[in-house]
């Protein structure tokens, strides 16, 4: 019975000081919303980086030629022309645990078709390339082993090349000309988008590496060898085996190649996003603490006014417990309403940011729970603690409080 | 309102050798040194004295806001000197009504809600309508029904004090205690408030008030004077002032001043 009256008293008190109530709740709302938005954006960015790493293919090891040294000028990795098709075949034959392998050529060239022209990347690859990169064909088909063996003039093209050169027609079955050599389009690749270095992965023409060597580059050396290992665990071993094998094939000369593990790249990228999440979390934590201090300040500043109020209540017959219950109810109402609004605002702004920037945003339950629990605890504690002190005063002292 | 039927000739307050010592500072302060006093139902008592005479301390003791260090306090026949905080709070709620010098109304709270306050802490549960109605009746006694939905900041000092009186009356207390009720008011408004008290006392309500103004004390029936924590004088007021007469005099004087001005 009395409890109902106390609830009434608490609601009246909240209504009476609407501004203080709103400011207190605002501290909680901002704190909760900031944490949720920050963590959601951080998680979204992390998952996007992970997805773009996964889109490069899994368990990938790349072999690049070493640096070229001409008259003391060193050319950097890949500048030497030391990697051969025989190296690639030897790796495929002698090293176990390799799922797929593709000798790679790459070049840029002007392409003509349909009366239009476009400068694009020309890649020479084996048939396994699309499997390694997890890149399905959208229309038509991939060139075959036979095409690779006989260096046929065929190609599959990326979406960008398709739209630039064949804007109004189906490219499959048509011809395009690379360095004046006609290649027949066998298929169009599905959309892969930009990689996380910002390159358009769809701006590509893939032809058999043999055709590339013989007709486009006209040199015997590969640009790189793409190897896919069976599992992440054996990548280090394969990396070592490849190094040993190539070293052995060069019989003691300076190593003119380098073997790179994509795992390293993936790890670096994940580490980056982890740092980002921690950073965003820290910013969110700071905003939560600032929000908490806001709540604390408002609660403590209002204590003068409220001490007199408590004195009046005690003088007309309230028990200390009644006053405490009132303040607890007030704090709980403010915290829970502020928390709920904060969750709505946080999730809403995450969605908005995701829509505006096209980022994926992952709303994290633990962030919601943690933020709400933390600010509710601050709200209740700083709403309750000064009131507890005041309620223990003598009514006379509380009335005299200035 | 049942206030009128509260008239009784029994002793409402009995103080026996009451002492109050504050020892919070370096030297213990003996604020009240052995006061023995009986107040009967229907009395209208003014406690006077210079500041530091112990009159406010005595008032706080009478109001159960403070406990005596020594001595016995019988309120309506029950010994209340040994009760704990919560029991004293219940006494204040049920048997005592307070009026303070500084009004002590809750700001940004309507007059009616201020008056309702003691009912919310009562033992018995009342419906919202009952609480509402009784608050309005209480405001009616002090003539402020029309201002029920005004905030204290929208009321004059005299009106605020009348709201405080209405609040003190809502639980039909045995005794109304007023600590310098006219201390913050001008002389005309003071007469107005004393008029409210006289009207309530005429209806049988026991009133004890503290004041340091001699002319205010002359509206009461009995005057006590305290000095150094002791009662030094206890007299019935011979030439008692009536608020209605005084008010007429003041109004006459005012209009005369306007005529001559």
**Ordered mean pLDDT values, 10 residues apiece, chain B (261 residues):** 45 92 86 93 94 91 91 90 90 93 90 94 87 94 94 94 95 93 92 94 94 92 94 93 92 83 55
Whether pLDDT at A195 is above 80: no
pLDDT value of position A142: 92
pLDDT value of position B5: 38
Chain A positions touching B91 (Cβ under 8 A) are 317
- Could you say which residues from 88 to 117 on chain B have a Cβ atom under 8 Å away from some Cβ of chain A? 89-94, 98, 100, 104-109, 113, 117
Helices within chain B (DSSP H only): 55-62, 85-94, 111-120, 128-141, 157-169, 187-202, 214-217, 243-260
| Residues 6+ positions from A92 with CB-CB distance below 8 Å | A98, A101
Nearest by Cα to B56 from B165, B207, B212: B212
List pLDDT tens digits, range B208-217. 999 989 999 9
Whether pLDDT at A30 is above 90: no
A318 Cβ under 8 Å from any chain B Cβ: yes
User: Which class is B7-92+173-261 in CATH?
Assistant: alpha beta
List Cα–Cα distances, A344 to A26, A286, A372, A374, in angstroms.
Answer: 13, 20, 12, 17
pLDDT value of position A80: 64
B86: left (phi over 0), alpha (psi -120 to 50) or beta: alpha
Which of B57, B65, B103, B128 to probe by mutation at the A interface, max A CB count within 10 Å?
B65
A19 Cβ under 8 Å from any chain B Cβ: no
The conformation of residue B149, written as its DSSP 8-state character, comes to: T
Give the SS3 label for residue A102: strand
Chain B positions touching A308 (Cβ under 8 A) are 104
Helices within A95-220 (DSSP H only): 129-132, 145-149, 159-165, 209-211
pLDDT value of position A68: 67
Mean pLDDT within A274-295: 79
> Are B176 and B99 spatial neighbours (Cβ–Cβ below 8 Å)?
yes
> Are B233 and B223 spatial neighbours (Cβ–Cβ below 8 Å)?
yes
Q: pLDDT band at A76, cuts 50/70/90?
A: low
* Angstrom distance (rounded) from CA A18 to CA A24: 10
B54: left (phi over 0), alpha (psi -120 to 50) or beta: left
- Long-range contacts, B219-223 (Cβ 8 Å, 24+): B219/B44, B219/B46, B219/B194, B219/B243, B220/B44, B220/B45, B220/B46, B221/B43, B221/B44, B221/B45, B222/B43, B222/B44, B222/B45, B222/B46, B223/B45, B223/B46, B223/B48
Highest mean pLDDT among A35-39, A389-393, B2-6, B191-195: B191-195
Q: pLDDT band at A363, cuts 50/70/90?
A: confident
pLDDT value of position B87: 92
pLDDT value of position B206: 95
> Are A364 and A278 spatial neighbours (Cβ–Cβ below 8 Å)?
no
* Angstrom distance (rounded) from CA A34 to CA A360: 17
- Among candidates B91, B108, B117 on the partner chain, residue whose Cβ is nearest the Cβ of A16: B108
Element (H, E) at B22: strand B11-22
B120 Cβ under 8 Å from any chain A Cβ: yes
Which chain B residue has its CA at the smallest distance from A392's CA?
Answer: B85
- Yes or no, beta carbons of A4 and B125 under 8 Å apart: yes
Look at B108 and A265; give whichever has higher pLDDT. Answer: B108
Mean pLDDT within A13-35: 85
Q: Please, where in chain B does CATH 3.40.50.300 lie? A: 7-92+173-261
List pLDDT tens digits, range A293-343. 877 787 777 766 788 888 999 999 999 889 888 888 888 888 888 889 999
Mean pLDDT within A107-126: 90
- Yes or no, beta carbons of B89 and A399 under 8 Å apart: no
Q: pLDDT band at A402, cuts 50/70/90?
A: low
Mean pLDDT within A63-87: 74
Mean pLDDT is lowest, of A69-83, A154-168, A280-294, for A69-83
State the complex-level ipTM: 0.91
pLDDT value of position B159: 94
* Angstrom distance (rounded) from CA B159 to CA B110: 12
List Cα–Cα distances, B6 to B2, B9, B122, B200, in angstroms.
Answer: 7, 10, 19, 11
> Are A31 and A288 spatial neighbours (Cβ–Cβ below 8 Å)?
yes
List pLDDT tens digits, range A172-187. 999 999 998 999 999 9
């Amino acid at each position: 019975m009395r409890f109902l009256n106390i609830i009434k008293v608490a609601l009246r008190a909240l209504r009476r000081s609407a501004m203080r109530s709103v400011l207190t709740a605002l501290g909680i709302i901002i704190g909760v919303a900031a944490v949720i938005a920050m963590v959601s954006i951080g998680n979204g960015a992390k998952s996007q980086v992970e997805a773009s790493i996964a889109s490069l293919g899994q368990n990938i090891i790349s072999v690049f030629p070493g640096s070229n040294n001409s008259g003391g000028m060193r050319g950097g990795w890949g500048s030497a022309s030391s990697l051969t098709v025989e190296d690639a075949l030897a790796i495929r034959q002698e090293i176990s645990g390799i799922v797929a392998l593709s000798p790679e050529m790459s070049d840029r060239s002007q392409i003509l078709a349909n009366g239009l022209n476009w400068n694009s990347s020309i890649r020479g690859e084996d048939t396994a390339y699309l499997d390694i990169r997890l890149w399905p064909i959208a229309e038509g088909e991939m060139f075959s082993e036979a095409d690779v063996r006989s260096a046929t003039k065929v190609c599959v093209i990326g979406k960008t090349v398709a739209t630039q050169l064949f804007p109004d027609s189906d490219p499959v079955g048509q011809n395009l000309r690379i360095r004046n050599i006609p290649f027949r389009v066998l298929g169009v690749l599905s959309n892969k988008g930009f990689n996380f270095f910002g390159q358009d992965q769809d701006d590509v023409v893939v032809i058999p590496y043999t055709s590339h060597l013989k007709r486009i580059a006209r040199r015997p050396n590969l640009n790189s060898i793409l190897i896919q290992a069976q599992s992440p665990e054996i990548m280090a071993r394969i990396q070592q085996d490849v190094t040993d094998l190539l070293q052995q094939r060069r019989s003691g000369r300076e190593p003119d190649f380098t073997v790179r593990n994509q795992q390293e790249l993936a790890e670096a990228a994940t580490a980056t996003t982890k740092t980002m999440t921690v950073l965003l979390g820290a910013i969110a934590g700071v905003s939560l603490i600032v929000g908490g201090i806001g709540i604390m300040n408002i609660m403590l500043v209002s204590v003068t006014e409220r001490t007199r109020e408590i004195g009046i209540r005690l003088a007309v017959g309230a028990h200390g417990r009644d006053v405490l219950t009132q303040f607890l109810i007030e704090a709980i109402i403010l915290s829970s309403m502020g928390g709920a609004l904060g969750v709505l605002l946080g999730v809403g702004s995450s969605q908005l940011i995701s829509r505006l920037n096209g980022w994926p945003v992952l709303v994290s339950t633990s962030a919601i729970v943690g933020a709400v629990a933390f600010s509710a605890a601050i709200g209740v504690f700083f709403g309750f603690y000064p009131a507890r002190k005041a309620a223990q005063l003598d009514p006379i002292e509380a009335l005299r409080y200035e | 309102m049942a206030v009128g039927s509260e008239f009784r000739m029994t002793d409402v307050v009995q103080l026996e050798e009451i002492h109050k010592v504050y020892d919070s500072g370096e030297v213990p302060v003996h604020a009240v040194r052995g006061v023995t006093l009986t107040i009967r139902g229907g009395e209208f008592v003014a406690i006077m004295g210079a500041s530091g005479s112990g009159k406010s301390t005595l008032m706080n003791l009478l109001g159960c806001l403070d406990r005596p260090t020594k001595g016995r306090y019988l309120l309506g026949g029950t010994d209340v000197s040994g009760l704990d905080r919560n029991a004293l709070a219940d006494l204040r709620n049920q048997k005592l009504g307070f009026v303070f010098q500084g009004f002590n109304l809750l700001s940004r709270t309507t007059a009616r809600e201020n008056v309702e306050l003691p009912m919310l802490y009562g033992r018995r549960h009342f419906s919202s309508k009952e609480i509402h109605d009784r608050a309005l009746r209480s405001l009616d006694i002090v003539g402020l029904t029309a201002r029920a939905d005004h905030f204290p900041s929208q009321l004059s000092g005299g009106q605020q004090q009348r709201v405080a009186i209405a609040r003190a009356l809502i639980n039909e207390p045995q005794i109304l205690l007023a600590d310098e009720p006219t201390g913050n008011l001008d002389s005309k408004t003071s007469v107005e408030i004393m008029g409210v008290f006289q009207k309530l006392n005429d209806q049988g309500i026991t009133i004890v008030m503290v004041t340091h103004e001699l002319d205010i004390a002359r509206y009461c029936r009995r005057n006590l004077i305290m000095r150094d924590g002791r009662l030094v004088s206890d007299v019935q007021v011979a030439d008692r002032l009536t608020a209605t007469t005084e008010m007429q005099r003041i109004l006459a004087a005012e209009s005369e001043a306007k005529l001559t001005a």
